[in-house]
A = this chain, B = another copy of it.
Amino acid sequence: MTTALDHKAGAPASLAAQVAQADMNPCGACPVRSLSVCSALEAEELRRLAEILTNMKVDTGHTLFSEGDGADMLFNVTSGTMKLYKLLPDGRRQITGFLLPGDFLGLSVNDTYAYSAEAVTSATLCRFPRRRLEALLEEYPKMQRRLFAMASNELAAAQDQMLLLGRKNAKERIASFLLLLSQRAVRRGFKDNPVHVPMSRSDIADYLGLTTETVSRTFTQLKTSNVIALLEGGKVRINDRDGLQDLADGAA
């Protein structure tokens, strides 16, 4: 565990206002509420939820928790990007997901985390003590249902990812990845093109089951065939969305 700052300590200016608001009408002003567990809740219920949460921040590259740690806390991403990953003893890594604002993390099978969580970009989160959140879920079945729906969606995404990892070639994987990022961006009200790709080639490789070299080469190929353009600041412009979609589906 690193960089677990309570409340606004260390929060950048742009965030300060939001966190300050959260202190008064916590969650009420949360920009990702509609995407999160909390979307199901009324004002009073939100207040109860806010009582048990702590705002925190994780700096780029820092670890929120590691596989095997006691899973006492659950989290909700409010800004930035996190990555979840599992390791093999010899260091091989599989990133199982990138989390964007509104995403939930920390579910565990026993009482330990089954994966590690690290910040891709500086990120802010709400932190909930597991026991207290579970107590609240008991009280508010609506919230339980919402969490279940989110888990179901994640499960469907995981199955898509299995198809990708098991059966798609490098070009199809990269195409699928860019479209996924684009789609997830729009759901959060960001522009879908150019797509913001904040993660390194190495992270992309470990998410797609490739090497950094192959990721790099494949980007170059897509760029050369004018399907995409690589822009400054980790942005990728999609020039031919249909072409990219066909590639992603293995139809091309």
* Chain A positions near chain B (C-beta within 8 angstroms): 84, 86, 88-90, 92-94, 96, 107-109, 114-115, 137-138, 141, 144-145, 147-148, 151-156, 158-163, 165-168, 206-209, 249-251
Contact = CB atoms under 8 A, between A and B. Distances in A.
21 contacts: A86-B162, A86-B163, A88-B249, A90-B251, A92-B167, A92-B168, A92-B250, A93-B167, A94-B166, A107-B152, A109-B153, A114-B159, A138-B141, A144-B144, A148-B148, A151-B151, A151-B155, A158-B158, A161-B162, A166-B206, A166-B207
Given A90-B250, A209-B166, A250-B90, A159 B107 contact: no
* Copies of this chain in the oligomer: 2
B165 A109 contact: no
A161 B160 CA distance: 12
A86 B250 CA distance: 13
The SS class assigned to the A binding surface is helix
Nearest to A140: B141
Contacts of A144: 141, 144-145, 148
A162 B162 contact: yes
Given A92-B250, A151-B152, A158-B159, 10 more contacts: A86-B160, A86-B162, A88-B163, A89-B249, A94-B166, A96-B159, A141-B144, A144-B144, A144-B148, A155-B155
